[in-house]
Amino acid sequence: MDKRPIGVFDSGLGGLTAVRELRRILPGEDIVYFGDTGRVPYGTRSRETILQYTRQDLGFLLSRDVKFIMAACGTVSSTYPAEEAARLPVPFLGVVEAACKAAAAATRTGHIGVVGTPATIRSGSYARLLEQLMPGVQITARPCALFVPLVENGRVQPGDPVTTLVAHDYLDEVRDAGVDTLIMGCTHYPLLEPFIREVMGPDVTLIDPGRVTAAAARETLERLELSSGRSEGGTAEYFVSDTAESFDAAAHLFLGRYAGGPVTQVPIETW
């Protein structure tokens, strides 16, 4: 048994969808979340900048004595080198591997769509892993640069005309390509699932990276004997790089009934 917290981070608040799933399936675990709200989004940054930010985020979480780190960010998971992750003092899990495995299991036709930030799609990380898991897989990928800003600005209410227009602009060609499974390759995107579902139709399986990665985290904790051993009573503590006041309204949107817990602003550039 290990009572230390799980560390989770994202470029903004989208990773809270992964926290919501962790709190649902691991109610006895403590969680420390860092959202880099002052520098969101990562998806339009250069690889060098993303790596710099990622190392600072990791440094902060490690200072909180976490036992396990989840990068609840498709951009980071697509960019951070596996060999560097392997040198961290605690296990590290990104969203790409879990999402690809779930998509490979779900597809009926072998034609999988991937949407994500420009950096995620540019990296080709989802395509490479899918091709390893399913030789001969057909992949249709599309960068969706505006999805994260839309979520961060609260444009998620069903029927929002701006988000509806953007969703069609990005996804019509993905739908028309004939995919039967779509990886929502950013933890912000599940907040746009009603819009994505409307465009893609009822027969396309949508893969929520936060949900499947939380399930993979539970398996890893159990396998490595890092579970807290508690069945309830876990807490959550939140840190952001921008003002903490802006977190409260967003927390209810992302966390639902799991909202609650102290929020602290930290100077992430010092880590």
**Fold of domain 96-210:** Rossmann fold (3.40.50)
Least confident of 20-29, 47-56, 73-82, 165-174: 73-82
Same fold, 6-94+211-270 and 96-210: yes
pLDDT band at 253 (very low <50, low <70, confident <90, very high): confident
Catalytic residue numbers read 73, 186
Nearest-angstrom CA–CA distance, 72 and 209: 8
Q: Are 189 and 117 in contact (CB under 8 A)?
A: no
In this prediction the pTM is: 0.89
Residue 43: the pLDDT is 86
Q: Report, as an integer, the average pLDDT of 73-83.
A: 92
Tell me: domain 6-94+211-270, CATH 3.40.50.1860, correct?
A: yes
Cα–Cα distances in Å, from 35 out to 11, 18, 244, 246?
6, 12, 10, 12
Domain edges within the chain: 6-94+211-270, 96-210
Which of these, 54, 81, 77, 83, lies nearest to 271 by C-alpha position? 54
Q: Report, as an integer, the average pLDDT of 233-251.
A: 89
Instruction: Report whether pLDDT(238) > 90.
Output: yes
Q: Are 66 and 90 in contact (CB under 8 A)?
A: yes
Angle at 12 between CA 264 and CA 128, to 5 degrees: 140
pLDDT band at 214 (very low <50, low <70, confident <90, very high): very high
Q: Are 29 and 219 in contact (CB under 8 A)?
A: no
Q: Report, as an integer, the average pLDDT of 51-61.
A: 98
Instruction: Report whether pLDDT(169) > 90.
Output: yes
Q: Which residues contact 27 (CB under 8 A, 6 or more apart)?
A: 231, 232, 233, 234
Instruction: Report whether pLDDT(225) > 90.
Output: yes
Instruction: Report whether pLDDT(218) > 80.
Output: yes
Q: Describe the crossing of helices 193-200 and 161-176 by its angle, rounded to 10 degrees.
A: 40
> pLDDT exceeding 90 applies to what percent of the chain?
82
